[in-house]
Amino acid sequence: MESKYNSRSSDTQDSSEMQSVFKTRPVKMKNFNQHITELYSNMFALFIKEWSDLDKCTVFHTAASCALEVCNRRKNRYQTILPYVHSRVTLEPLSTEGSDYINADFITGHKEREYIATQAPLKETFADFWRMVWQYKCRVIVMLAELVEHEIVKVDRYWPDRLGFTEKYGDIAVRLAFISQRERIIVRKFHLTLGTEKRVVSQYVLEDFKEDCSDVTPSAIVDFIQTVREDLNSGPDSGPAVVHCSAGLGRTGVFIALDYFQQRIAMMSLEDTIDVFAFVLKMRNHRPHMVQNLKQYLFIHDLLNLLIFVKQVILRQIQEMQADINNEHHIQDHNKVLVHVSNKKDVPTTSEGHDHASSETSVPASNKKVDSSSYDEIIRASNKKIADASNKELADASNRGHIATRKEKPVQPAVKKVSTTSRKSI
């Protein structure tokens, strides 16, 4: 298995300690299941070591000084979580002091500024939040926390609470035009108006997505990220996706990583690599503490393993369909030859007087010509096989707690024993 780590750390906070720690750890997709099986072995020893290395390699940059100005302190949901100078989202200034500040950072994905990771808006920042959505032409908002969790307010409702109602946030009018729910996914459509210009913004909410990623099935999160990605890809003028949980760190980092790698898995071959370690570091280079605990880090690996598995199933189905198509073409060519031969006068006959070319037994039963109209059925059958295989794998994953090991149910991660996970998730 190719999982060699390519480059060493050179800009960590303690370079002597990090001389032997690699900052990139690419693994070929075809080897990914084997890779995380090894990480899960020996009571997750290698996973725990990798998480420790991740914390050691994380560089904390200079926070934006404007975040601590008196006029802006109240705009921070958590006073210790502040945007970085080099990556913070700036608003077009108004006449009031500090009006260009919002607690949000740009995150690079497959393109620059593909995401905005931000805290859940406070009542004091509702207008700033919608101003940011408008200024950067954002069409999609992803919400990953409940309004209240464990009797603590995590998100203040920053949208109208009744269908058809409009609320004004600063100069922007926001009307709740549509709401739907499919299982655990809530979709809201907002109509925004500023002056004479109107826009539509979608909000996607994944219910009961807890900080430790428990109580959410693999199928639910895969459905969620694919639904959001379809919307993001539906328009060429889409700005950054706005992603928030409460602080805009843990679950926000999990979603961005899964969306980023979902696209890579779909675009690349199984011979190409994915590097979870390096991408988490990349996110942390733009916003502190992205992906906050070991359980979230394990969850990312498990979901990527599932996505790769589904890709492998799909590729097998495509190969089987291509083989069927090639076989049909071969039979068609063979039948043309037989028809040509049957038209000749010197064709030998059987004892019953039937010529060989017209005899149905001249083509093995297993190679009989398949009518082209049946390929819709082949496609439907193929899709059903993929769905059945995927659902079985999803069920197994839910029962096991992860999908790396095929033979036995693993012990749940002993996260509480890891000193690097003692930081409280918010």
Q: Residue 68: is its pLDDT beyond 50?
A: yes
Mean pLDDT of 366-372: 36
- Give the residue, 110 or 322, on which the prediction is more confident: 110
Kindly report, residue by residue over 130-177, the tens digit of the pLDDT: 999 999 999 999 999 999 999 999 999 999 999 999 999 999 999 999
Residue indicated by tokens 């990312």: 300
Kindly report, residue by residue over 20-57, the tens digit of the pLDDT: 578 899 999 999 999 999 999 999 999 999 999 999 99
**Gap between the Cα atoms of 395 and 380, Å rounded:** 22
What pLDDT is attached to residue 395?
53
Structure confidence at residue 9 as a pLDDT band (50, 70, 90) = very low
Q: Residue 182: is its pLDDT beyond 50?
A: yes
The pTM of this model reads 0.77
What pLDDT is attached to residue 322?
82
Kindly report, residue by residue over 303-356, the tens digit of the pLDDT: 999 999 999 999 988 888 888 787 776 666 656 555 554 555 444 443 444 443
In CATH terms, the fold of domain 57-306 is Protein-Tyrosine Phosphatase; Chain A (3.90.190)
Catalytically active residues, by annotation: 245
Strand order in the sheet with 185-194: 88-90, 101-107, 115-118, 241-244, 140-143, 197-206, 185-194, 172-182, 166-169
